[in-house]
Amino acid sequence: MNKVFGYARVSTADQNLDTQIDALTKAGCEQIFQEKITGISTSRPALDEMLSLLRPGDTVIVARFFRLGRNRDHLITLVSALTQQGVIFKALDLGIDTGSISGKLVINLFAALAEYDRESILEKTRAGQLLARQKGKHCGRPAGINEENFKKVKMAYEKGFSVAETVELTKISESTVKRYRKLIQ
């Protein structure tokens, strides 16, 4: 027999779940999983428990669409995974129901927009890097070895200075000091 699960989350301990739970109860949820945890937290015990119980044909209902995921990408990944598992997802605030063709369309549109957004950001980043290179600017860690700094690190190493002492003395970054010391040894 298919089950109807509800999921409610607030982002801070002082917020109240009552309105979400009321809406989920009215929507016919048999079991409601509750979480008082920040959206950015990767630890979501109630969500994980609910997800482990889901079977094809079950329904997951949230009162508010963005309560399910940590962020837009996580939310879309979760809803896509539910759909692939044969679980119906409903968001009461937006009227989304992946059991209907229009609900599936909305979720697919959200996923496409998220992918477009990610690709657009990557494209802008690549264009900016290319422009910087064309202007002669170097992106990333300096290539090769700065001979002057290498000599300073070598001298400090030969005098028995620690990495921390070398950093303090030369004002060269710790990662560079460690990298140069590996070349010396």
Which H or E run includes 14?
none
Residue from 64, 63, 71, 77 nearest 107 by CA: 77
11 is catalytic: yes
Active-site entry in 11, 100, 102, 120: 11
The whole-angstrom separation of Cα 63 and Cα 94 is: 9
The whole-angstrom separation of Cα 26 and Cα 37 is: 24
In DSSP terms, which residues pair with 97 in a beta bridge? 90
Maximum pairwise Cα distance, the chain: 76
Report the catalytic residues: 11
